Each structure stands twice: as structure tokens, then as C-alpha cells.
Chains A and B, each alone.
Chain A
Amino acid sequence: METDKTVKILLVDDEVKFLKAVSDRLSIKGFDVTTAANGDDAIEAANKGGFDVAVVDVQMPGTDGSQVLKILKQNHQFIEIIMLTGHATVDSAVECTRLGAFKYLEKPYDFDKLVEALKEAYQARLQKKFESNLKRMEAIQKLSTHQSPLGLLRAMAKLDDNRK
């Protein structure tokens, strides 16, 4: 791994054997993997927090992959999501991109490509966090020149609310 910390992955697919094999392979590569066999379990796991990247199958019974993508992007500002599909269509790829997917891979794919995509997604997440923190610092600096200490605290709380 070329990263300075263990990348936390949420892997979501209704094919349990696929989930197990990919999870084992990613663990061997040094990723910290949590699995979910359906959309609802994935959303629940994500709410417990801490995932850098999610890998989500598009077609699942019940809450499907695009619904999971939408909810995770809404609730977790910095998470990056890679979509997997056994039935790639232009419409599905466009929809996933519109909802904020980082990448869209068709099964069966080359495992090295998945690992590469995970590293890129993790770097993108770090970059986004860095830019967000930078913006926050700039905003605090601007506020501090015009605000009373109490006003500054209130403005910072508002800033943090917007970041959730």
C-alpha cells in the first residue's frame, strides 16, 4: 500500500461468495474491509462511520446500488464510491455518475484495476477533505476580523453544520 494509513473499505454485493473472495483479496493487499450483503446493511454500516471508499454493486434486491450511492453521498460528505455492475448500460453509468460515483466498473473486471481505482478514490477523498479544511480555515480567518468572540463561535458552529 502506498498510503500512510489503512484505507477503510465498505464492500457491498448480494453475491455472498463474490463478497468473500474480493474481501479476502483486498485484505491481503492491506485494505481494511467491511462487507454488507444488501443495501440496508450497507447504509447501517456506513452510519457507524469511518469508511474512506465504498464499492457497491448496482443490481441488488431491495435497496439497490444507485439508492445506496445516493444515500451514502448525502450522509457522508467525503466518502468516494465505486460502482460495480454485471449489466453495464450507458443509462446506468450516466445515472451513477450524476449521483456522484467516483468510478463505474463492469464485472468481471481486472482485480488490479479495482485496486488502482480504490487508491485513486482514496487520494480524491484526501484531496477533498484537504480543500474543505482549507476553505474552513479561510472562512474562519475572514470571520475573525469582523466578529466578537461570541459571534465568531456562532459563525464557526454554522460553518460546521454546513459541512455535515
Chain B
Amino acid sequence: MDNAKDWFGYDSLAFFGKVNASISHELKNVMAIISETAGLLGDLSEMARGGKPIDPEMLTSSTDSIVEEIQRGFSTIRQMNRFAHSVDTPVLSVDLMDILDLVRNLFEYLSFAGKTNLHTGEGTAAMAQTCPFILQAIIYQAVVQTFQHAGPGAQLDISVQSKNESTWQILLDGVSLKDGEVFPDDRITRMALSIGVSISYDRGSDRLAIDVPVSIGFVKGNGAAG
């Protein structure tokens, strides 16, 4: 199992499509604001040409708005680029905080996104040899389910700690699932098993723990990195 075809099945493709759809939605919003604001500047120019007085503040706020939206567009494209490249190498050594940061950025493009607080751990970087793309899909789905249920007013705290010498533990505090809803479902369970990740949810404390092996080579029966 050493190439992308072996690692990424339909579940991965579905996740890739879902995230790209949300990014395109964000970019359309950016384009719509730029388009309308440029149109407003055009309308104001026409008015000035016709001898009507124009409030200079409207010109300033319109140009500022266009500049800000261009920056927002660039930032979105940067995240899109990070995400696109996360499938380049199926398994590699990554800092888990980088993965969490990308998931948080991608998640914010959804209309129901709430606030996620990413807590940086003390000490050494949480490096793991894993499949970053599949790990992203698992964490993303947990965040999506939480806010789909709890709404944009909810908050989620995300941190990483060392569980033991061979395992990092990603903790999501504030995970909220509907009554009867389960996490992980069959699809996420399949994805987690494929990279040796185990997931446990404590409904009482609203805490989701995702155990990530420091090296995917420790996964029993997984010949991927062995």
C-alpha cells in the first residue's frame, strides 16, 4: 500500500469534493462582493459625471472593501492550495498542529461554522508519520457534525497531547451530537482503521479523543509503512 490509488477510495473522494464545494462557495462570495463594490464605484462615477455630489467616504470605504476581499480571496486560495497538496504523498511525517490548523481554516468556509479554538501544546512539536489527508477527513467530519447540531454559536476547543510514547491524542472538547447520532459512523470508522487511528466519544463530557499512532508503521497488520 504505497501509492495514492491504494490509500484514497470513494470516502476520500467524497471528502475532497465536499471541501472543494465549500471553498468555491467562499470564493463566489468574495467575487460577488468585489463585483458589487466595483459596480457601486461605477455608479458613483456616473453620478459625479452628471454633476451630483459624491461622498468621498463612500469611495474610500468601497476601495478598502475591494482590497480586503482580494486579501480574503488570496487567503482562501492559500488554504485551497494546502488542501490540494495534502494528497500528494499519502504517508509522511507531519506536525499534527498543521493538520488541525488546516481543518479549522477549511471548516470556516461552511455557513454554519462556529468558533474553534486551537490550543498549542507545550514542548516538542506533535510529529507523526501518518496519512494527513485521511486524518483531516476524520477531524473535519467531527467538527461538521458538532456545529450542524449545536449551531454557529457553539465553541470547540482542540488540543494535542502525548498519550504515550507511541500515540498522540487529539482532543476535541465541546463536541455535541444529536440524540441517537453516532461518531464515528461506518465511513469514518473505515477511514480511521485504514490509518490505525482510534476514536472514542464521551457524551457526558462532550469530549472526542482521536488517538493517532506516532508512526503508521506501528499499526498492526498495516503494511503501508512497514
Residues of A within 8 A of B (CB): 14-15, 17-18, 20-22, 24-25, 28, 59-62, 64, 86-87, 107-109, 111
Contacts and interface: CB of A to CB of B under 8 A. Distances in A.
Contact of A61 (B36, B43, B152): B152
A87 B35 contact: no
B39 A111 contact: yes
Nearest to A64: B111
B64 to A, nearest CB: 10
Q: Is the interface of A mostly helix, strand, loop or mixed?
A: loop
B40 interface: yes
A62 B58 contact: no
Given A17-B65, A109-B32, 13 more contacts: A15-B29, A15-B32, A20-B65, A21-B36, A21-B39, A24-B58, A28-B40, A28-B47, A87-B21, A87-B24, A107-B29, A107-B31, A108-B35
Interface residues of B, number: 27
A86 B68 CA distance: 19
B12 to A, nearest CB: 22
| Leading 7 A-B pairs by shortest Cβ distance | A86-B28, A21-B36, A61-B152, A107-B32, A108-B32, A59-B111, A87-B25
6 contacts: A17-B33, A21-B39, A24-B43, A28-B44, A61-B113, A86-B29
Contacts of A86: 25-26, 28-29, 32
A115 B36 CA distance: 13
A111 to B, nearest CB: 5
Contacts, number: 66
Contacts of B44: 28
B141 interface: no
A95 to B, nearest CB: 16
A21 B152 contact: no
Contact of B28 (A17, A60, A61, A87): A87
B69 interface: yes
Contact of A108 (B31, B47, B151): B31
B74 interface: no
Contacts of B29: 15, 18, 86, 107
A59 B21 CA distance: 13
B60 to A, nearest CB: 13
A14 B113 CA distance: 13
B54 to A, nearest CB: 11
A15 B33 contact: yes
Contacts of B28: 86-87, 107-108
Given A24-B40, A59-B25, A18 B32 contact: yes
Contacts of A87: 21, 24-25, 28
Contacts of A62: 151-152
